[in-house]
């Protein structure tokens, strides 16, 4: 219980919409003083449509969970430093706790807040909870940042193990006064007009409980044991699907790390999954050192790459109408569910930048708008990796053949048939190249290529030659 007359503490929720392993919440709760939980809708233009839908659902869950401790979530809109200063004046709060967000914009914002609130007598405490290893602590022997993942992760593995996750507080001292707060519907996060979120609702359960349930399923259903072999198979449930929960901080990466380490038998699946968490660390480290990573290539020679402007081809790619089934299945899965299998993300991205020669930035923006896990660090680094212009990237001349990729990773066509139902009756030998199917097979499948399903919008061999020619042009420079 707090003593009467004690000034309250402001607890600022950001990309950490959870109670467990939330160092800012734990510190506020342990003080024994009244706590005012706050969420500020700041810079809404930075969120895509799918992320906005997810954020609404996640805030509903957070409001319920923190409310169960007796502390209503105060929701405001506006510039975070200004809003927090105003709340300090309204409530007489003399302390702010928050968890740092390892992104350049948010880091600058944290500096502004420390200066502004500090000048008003409010103590500002930032905590680290977003990554396994504290930002900017993983360094080369020369003191610089890493450009190659293998060396980065080897250095991480030589460091002390990440801290164990903190339990959620069971009690919270409550400020006995009410504060004006926006209703979540007033934030305007949900679709207006046409409700395109049915597919998202059918697949996802945003919020801390949904995140913990997803982790439990991943560990207890045996998925992780075969993760190393199945993670590239979009026709199987071989991945964790924890990415959106991590992006919104509904579960901490430390909690995931330790759950995997302690609940799973050592094996290739466990090792590979932990390495994928390492890629997440690497992407955030890159973003901290390259704030414009979503707009500019890390390899400067790609600044002059001869990208094409082809709005019609880009629209066909977005809609899943390229004529290449594995590409179209991925793009339709993305639109329907807000998520795409990782292997197919690489295939669809390669198709956009190397078959269509469209700028990778256009694809990055489309994914950012349609992915529920649209984390800017992972998204930008992934696109630069595929385009060959990022750190430790695949070479540009590695051009995926979408037919061979489909035949290798979706051999029976189950994934394609799920999201491109017009091809559902084609035999497996034609499912990834329907334009080559004999008339008898097309007739049996009641399919007319060019009408029911489009012909390929580009020829693979010709597109590959053009892409290599474009790459040679910048190589000569």
The catalytic residue positions are 276, 279, 307, 342, 360, 383
The structure tokens 């900017």 sit at 136
What are the two backbone dihedrals, phi and then psi, of residue 225, each rounded to the nearest 5 degrees? -65, -35
The structure tokens 């930035």 sit at 361
Q: Print the SS3 string covering the chain.
A: CCCCCCCCEEEEECCCCCCCCCHHHHHHHHCCCCEEEEEEECCHHHCCHHHHHHHHHHHHHHHHHHHCCCCCCEEEECCHHHHHHHHHHHHCCCEEEEECCCCHHHHHHHHHHHHHHHCCCCEEEEECCCCCCCCCCCCCCCCCCCCCHHHHHHHHHCCCCCCCCCCCCCCCCECCCCCCCCCHHHHCCCCCCCCCCHHHHHHCCCCHHHHHHHHHHHHHCCCHHHHHHHCCCCCCCCCCCCHHHHHCCCCCHHHHHHHHHHHCCCCHHHHHHHHHHHHHHHHHHHHHHCCCCCCCCCCHHHHHCCCCCCHHHHHHHHHCCCCCHHHHHHHHHHHHHCCCCHHHHHHHHHHHHHHCCCCHHHHHHHHHHHCCCCCHHHHHHHHHHHHCCCCCCCCCCCCCCHHHHHHHHCCCCHHHHHHCHHHCCCCHHHHCCHHHCCHHHHHHCCCCECCCECCCCCCHHHHHHHHHHHHHHHHHC
Residues, the chain: 477
Asked whether the beta carbons of 269 and 239 are under 8 A apart, the reply is: no
């Amino acid at each position: 219980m707090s003593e009467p007359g004690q000034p309250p503490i402001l607890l600022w929720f950001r990309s950490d919409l959870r109670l467990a392993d939330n160092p800012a919440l734990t510190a506020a709760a342990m003080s024994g003083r009244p706590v005012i939980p706050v969420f500020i809708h700041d810079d809404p233009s930075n969120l895509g449509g799918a992320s906005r839908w997810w954020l609404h659902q996640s805030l509903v869950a957070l409001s319920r969970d923190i409310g169960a401790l007796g502390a209503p979530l105060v929701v405001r809109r506006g510039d975070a430093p200004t809003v927090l200063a105003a709340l300090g004046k309204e409530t007489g709060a003399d302390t702010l706790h928050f968890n740092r967000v390892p992104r350049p914009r948010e880091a600058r914002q944290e500096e502004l807040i420390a200066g502004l609130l500090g000048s008003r007598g409010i103590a500002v405490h930032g905590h680290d909870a977003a990554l396994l290893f504290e930002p900017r602590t993983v360094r080369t022997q020369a003191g610089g940042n890493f450009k190659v993942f293998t060396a980065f992760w080897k250095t991480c593995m030589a460091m002390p193990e990440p801290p164990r996750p903190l339990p959620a507080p069971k009690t919270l001292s409550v400020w006995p006064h009410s504060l004006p707060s926006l209703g979540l519907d007033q934030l305007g996060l949900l679709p207006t007009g046409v409700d395109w979120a049915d597919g998202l609702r059918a697949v996802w359960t945003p919020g801390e409980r949904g995140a913990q349930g997803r982790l439990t399923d991943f560990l207890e259903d045996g998925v992780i044991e075969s993760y190393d072999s199945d993670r590239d198979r979009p026709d199987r449930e071989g991945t964790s699907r924890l990415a959106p929960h991590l992006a919104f901080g509904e579960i901490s990466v430390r909690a995931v790390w330790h759950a995997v380490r302690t609940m799973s038998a050592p094996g290739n699946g466990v090792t590979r999954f932990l390495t994928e968490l390492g890629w997440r660390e690497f992407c955030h480290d890159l973003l901290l050192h390259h704030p414009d990573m979503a707009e500019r290539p890390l390899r400067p020679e790609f600044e002059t790459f001869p990208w094409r402007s082809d709005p019609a081809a880009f629209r066909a790619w977005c809609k899943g109408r390229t004529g290449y089934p594995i590409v179209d299945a991925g793009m339709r899965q993305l639109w329907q569910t807000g998520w795409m299998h990782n292997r197919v993300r690489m295939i669809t991205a390669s198709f956009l930048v190397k078959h269509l020669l469209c700028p990778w930035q256009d694809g990055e923006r489309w994914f950012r708008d349609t992915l529920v896990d649209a984390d800017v660090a992972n998204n930008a680094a992934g696109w630069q990796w595929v385009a060959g212009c990022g750190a430790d990237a695949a070479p540009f001349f590695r051009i995926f053949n979408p037919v061979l990729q489909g035949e290798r990773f979706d051999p029976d066509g189950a994934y394609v048939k799920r999201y491109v139902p017009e091809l559902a009756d084609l035999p497996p030998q034609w499912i990834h190249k329907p334009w080559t199917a004999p008339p008898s097979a097309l007739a049996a499948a009641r399919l007319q290529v060019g009408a029911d399903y489009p012909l390929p919008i580009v020829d693979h061999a010709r597109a590959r030659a053009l892409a290599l020619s474009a790459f040679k042009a910048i190589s000569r420079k």
